[in-house]
Amino acid sequence: MQKVIPVFIVLLLLWGCAAHPTISPVPLKEDETRTSIAFSVENILPVFVYRKGLSDISDFGIRVGLPIYGSGIDYSRTVFQRGDFYDIINFAYSLTPNSSFDMTYYSVRTFPVKPGNAFYTGFRAMYIPKGINGNESIRVGALLGLMINNKVGVEMGYFHDLDKGQPIEKIVSMQPENDSRYPAITDFGFPSENSRLVGLSLQVSLSTSIFQKKK
């Protein structure tokens, strides 16, 4: 048992190779708040998410991870709206061993017949100024997501390091094939800032209202 605890602590500190914002694809009203718990392949433990509407076209989010990795802040603003279609731009910072800045442009469709439902796609640029191996990583990629009844959200995407990462034509190779100057795996055996695994994103968010007892 004494040996298991230190190993678990190391996993907590090093496994979270990247993190991304958990947005509200259904725009919030001014002063409206939403809280959720986000689970993702990027973090070994769940993250608490708090969002608040600053106006009818903008909101901000705060993420708190355990022990701290996965934590971050972000800001969203609706830049275009026509009927049930929205374009939203989001700026985010995430704290992990590969701490990063994200800029994401979302195209969202809501469904008035089923309020709280939304489908969206997005383009994301991601910048890691100094990762776990001391290198930088500049990534671009796409994502798609779904929100159900403002309670359950699912998002998946991939963001590739075109400069120092695995060659795009070998992205599905069984073994990492990075340039030796920018290894994909650290000496501890965890994904580096230039690993393709850092570009993989899959998260599920659950509104905290799901866990509240109905009166």
Provide the residue range defining the domain that includes 32: 4-211
Whole-angstrom distance, CA of residue 193 vs CA of residue 202: 17
DSSP letter for 16, please: -
In this prediction, residue 166 carries a pLDDT of 83
In this prediction, residue 167 carries a pLDDT of 82
Instruction: Give me the number of domains the chain comprises.
Output: 1
DSSP letter for 133, please: T
pLDDT digits (tens, 9 = 90+) for 83-139: 999 999 999 999 988 999 999 999 999 998 888 999 999 999 999 999 988 999 999
Q: Which residues pair with 145 in a beta bridge?
A: 120, 155
pLDDT digits (tens, 9 = 90+) for 36-81: 999 998 887 899 999 999 999 999 999 999 877 889 999 999 999 9
**Lowest mean pLDDT: which of 77-81, 88-92, 145-149, 162-166?**
162-166
Contact 71, 38 (CB under 8 A): no
pTM of the model: 0.86
Say whether pLDDT at 19 is over 80: yes
Structure tokens at 25: 């694809």
**Lowest mean pLDDT: which of 6-10, 19-23, 152-156, 185-189?**
6-10
Say whether pLDDT at 2 is over 70: no
- Helices in the chain by DSSP H: which ranges? 4-14
Averaged pLDDT of the chain: 87
Whole-angstrom distance, CA of residue 103 vs CA of residue 88: 11
In this prediction, residue 140 carries a pLDDT of 97
How many other C-beta atoms can be found within 10 angstroms of the C-beta atom of residue 37? 16
In this prediction, residue 215 carries a pLDDT of 59
In this prediction, residue 186 carries a pLDDT of 78
- Find how far residue 188's CA is from the centre of its chain: 24
Q: Which residue type occupies 122? A: G
Structure tokens at 109: 């469709």
